[in-house]
A and B are shown apart, each in its own frame.
Chain A
């Protein structure tokens, strides 16, 4: 899932400074799981803003609402009824959700309440680690289930660099060298042959910016868009 972190309070406070009536919209999927932008976090942010602005003798009317997720029109459409009542919106969704919301509420400024960090996993409440870079060319089958693009800072595809010290990465001594782990896993699996083959240059064109995916079953429907 997507992991995000709530933006520093000072930054959010500065963003909403010019307004008198704002709506904070939370997202109930990824950012709720990583405790950055769900219903609870919306409540905490609203409370913090009221406290901080109250100390400056300012009044800010804050609406709070959380939808299932902001990357699906189905959940955004019902918001149209009342977003127009507000001068500005703070969206706690990841970058994708913020942009999608903006397409809908194009008349008001929309401010992001979180910084989107990465695609990762939920190790434990409050502890999340990156696992995938969405490179659109998954190597996991030939690397013993460890992503060389994400877990190796250099994204090497053919084995470790010369910087491994005691099996740990030159970039972060606390992290095990991804290629040491890959070798170990392939050895356990009995698939070291994968590592003996030279992996060719990565095709970055599979990951142009912005990317588009049209499911094969829908090619006819969206054919005109190609």
Chain B
């Protein structure tokens, strides 16, 4: 099975989500491996969310918020920046470095969103899948069992 990167994007409502939405409306093409989690503000992101994402098998995590100075909640993105840096350190210690990044995407900047996703996808393709995902595939008989359960 070809490797499909699974990237989790933790984005803020007021800037990045809007930009991503616009990218969609404008039918901009970009890698489909991104799952967006919408926060009101990146300042709400707790470091444990990021670590749990990797535990669950995410290949990479992007945090994307407003540009410095433009946060709708004034300082949320600054706190997110500090937390992302600390999370990067914790991940480095645990042996999963290089898979977390923070971006600043203004609401009108759909192309920047696209570029960010493309960059993370490239990075994941270079690093390979999250090693914790290996061994998490269904065993031989499971598919049949599931089909039986669904049909009955």
A contacts B: CB pair < 8 Å = yes
- A positions within 8 Å CB-CB of B: 8-10, 40, 43-44, 47-52, 54-55, 57
Contact A40 B48 (CB under 8 A): yes
Q: Is the CB–CB distance between A55 and B93 below 8 Å?
A: no
The answer to whether B95 touches A44, judged by C-beta atoms less than 8 angstroms apart, is no
Which residue of A is nearest B50, CB measured? A47
- Give Cα distance in the complex from A40 to B83, angstroms: 13
Contact, CB under 8 Å: A51 / B51: yes
- Cα distance A48–B93 in the bound complex, in angstroms: 8
Give the residue of B46, B47, B91, B135 whose beta carbon is less than 8 angstroms from that of A51: B91
* Min CB gap B52→A, angstroms: 6
Interfacial residues of chain B within 84-127, with CB under 8 A of chain A in the complex: 90-91, 93-96
Is the Cβ of B55 less than 8 Å from the Cβ of A43? no
Asked if B131 is an interface residue, CB under 8 A from chain A, the answer is: yes
Residues on B with beta carbons closer than 8 Å to the beta carbon of A51: 51, 54-55, 91, 94-96, 132
With A43-B48, A48-B90 as known contacts, state yes or no: A55 contacts B55, CB within 8 Å.
no
Contact B93–A9 (Cβ < 8 Å):
yes
Q: How many A-B residue pairs have CB under 8 A?
A: 44
- For the complex, would chain A's binding face be called helix, strand, loop or mixed by DSSP majority? helix
Residues of chain A within 8 A of B55, CB atoms compared: 47, 50-51, 54
Q: Would you call the interface of chain B mostly helix, strand, loop, or mixed?
A: helix
Q: Looking across the interface, which residue of chain A has its beta carbon closest to that of B133?
A: A54
B131: chain A residues within 8 A (beta carbon): 54-55
A55's contact among B51, B90, B95, by CB below 8 Å, is which? Answer: B95
Question: Nearest Cβ in chain A — how far from B96, in angstroms?
Answer: 6
Q: Which residues of B contact A50 (CB under 8 A)?
A: 55
Give the interface centre of A8, A10, A51 by most chain B CB atoms within 10 Å: A51
Of B52, B94, B135, the residue contacting A52 (CB under 8 A) is: B94
Q: Which of A8, A10, A44, A57 is in CB contact (< 8 Å) with B51?
A: A44
* Alpha-carbon gap, A135 to B55, bound state (A): 46
Kindly state the separation between the CA atoms of A10 and B48 in the bound complex, as whole angstroms. Answer: 19
List chain A residues, Cβ under 8 A from B52.
47
**Sample (29) of A-B pairs whose CB atoms are under 8 Å apart:** A8-B93, A9-B90, A10-B93, A40-B46, A40-B48, A43-B48, A44-B47, A44-B90, A47-B48, A47-B55, A48-B51, A48-B91, A48-B93, A48-B94, A49-B94, A50-B55, A51-B51, A51-B54, A51-B91, A51-B132, A52-B94, A52-B95, A54-B55, A54-B132, A55-B94, A55-B95, A55-B131, A55-B132, A57-B135
